[in-house]
Amino acid sequence: MRFKHSQIPDPSWDGKLFSKEQLKRLVIPLMVEQTLAMTVGLFDTLIVSSVGETAVSAVSLVDSINFLLITLFAALGAGGAIVVGQYIGAQKHEEARHAAKQLLLIVTLLSIGMMILFLTFNHAILRFIFGNIDSAIMENAQVYFFTTSLSLPFLAVFNVCAALFRIMGNSAVPMVNAIVINIVNIAANILFIFGFDMGVLGSASATSIARIVGAVIILIMLRNPKMIVYIRSYNFKEFDGVMIKRILKLGIPNGLESSIFQIGKIIMSSLVATFTTSAIAAHAVGNSLTSVGIVPAQAMSLAITTVVSQCVGARDYEQAEFYTRYLIKKAYIYLWILNILMLLILNPALSLYGLSPEGFSIAYEIMVIHGVGAMIMWPLSFSLPNTFRASGDVVSPMIFSIFSMLVVRIGFSFILVYVFNMGVVSVWWAMMADWAVRSIFFTHHYKHKKWQRYAPASDYN
């Protein structure tokens, strides 16, 4: 039998847990899902902007809290799902299903507690975070925060279930659900704001309804007994303290790291707010466009968690290293292709934003700094640590990531701004310094294989 060159079997893939085709089916939906997550906020802002600047300001402020919560629950879900993935790799499917149910139970309880807290201290929390903002903005912010807090448990449940599907290697289900959520959210926004003239309440209600719909659908899909991991019943009477401790051992550091990272970004935003209007606008445009350039690498990071956790569960660290190298290589290839294309069309792309000449110049510099830095350092800074987390080594990346964020990125930013008077680009140069330090540490950690010393959850009954 003759093969075309592209069809010649690669012996290096013989006996591997995941084939190239399986990885493709895992990664492509992840890319689509990451793109949807990036664009949904844009549609929300465009629709809410019709209500007025006060509404946009209120939604923007509260969404900074909401994004922190989304990040927290996604990180908790991903951390807990690593336990499930390790059981899958060890072929302990019953234990994997039990761990999945315990993960869903504990995150649901945590989210209900947070919901009660936010509903009870709605005004006090907003006042503590944002200070004495305009009374009209505060009034709208309270409405938006209260209404979206009602759906907090559904947000948490969706993120956990999505993480469970991904850890099984099925990223198509979260992708399809993300599409449904976005459609429901946009349609409800249009109906409530343009049809019923509900303003900020309409936007908050649309967000909550979309969360509820997404959670209900994915919970139903998680009951399919044909899958490796499924939930037979949502009657949560079985509380397994030992299993929950294993889950939280990975989930809490993961959630803490992600949360502090987002808090650090909020601190950086407060620094940016001290610059000129042109600089602030350039920074905002830079944030919007640079997020596009890292979508493929973010998808590879999620894929690494799925694949490596199963390799570690099978006690096959050779395969864990093989897939880590392969997926990071792919991340670099996609980053180079996408960021070079973006840099080539940078002038016409920036012209769409109507920036002043000063703002255009700053935004151009920001895009070049980020694009070049991402092509060199992003996968080593953010994809590689997922190999450690998937192996159970969550404390090392957590400690170093927090240190690098607080000391290098934030500290260096303030030095460049107040000592060298470099303006808003200081934030982006400090980000590159942060990435450089992360890359060096994580590469050293990977090469010395300290992450392979952790006993996977699947070693325990």
pLDDT, tens only, 112-130: 999 999 999 988 888 887 7
**What pLDDT is stored for residue 66 in this prediction?**
79
How do the domains of the chain map onto residue ranges? 18-251, 274-456
pTM of the model: 0.82
Would you say 299 and 27 are in contact if contact means Cβ atoms under 8 Å apart? yes
**What pLDDT is stored for residue 40 in this prediction?**
66
Using the predicted structure, report yes or no on whether residue 275 has a pLDDT greater than 80.
Answer: no
Q: Rounded CA gap, 230 and 220, in Å? A: 10
Between 287 and 360, where is the model more confident? 360
Q: Rounded CA gap, 379 and 293, in Å? A: 12
**What pLDDT is stored for residue 140 in this prediction?**
83
Q: What is the mean pLDDT of residues 372-376?
A: 95
**Counts of helices then strands in the chain (DSSP H, E):** 18, 0
**What pLDDT is stored for residue 53 in this prediction?**
60
Tens digit of pLDDT for each residue in 293-345? 888 898 999 899 999 999 999 899 999 999 999 999 999 999 999 999 999 99
Tens digit of pLDDT for each residue in 127-184? 887 777 677 878 888 898 899 999 999 999 998 999 999 999 898 999 999 899 989 9
List Cα–Cα distances, 194 to 50, 140, 186, 325, 447, in angstroms.
Answer: 9, 17, 12, 50, 57
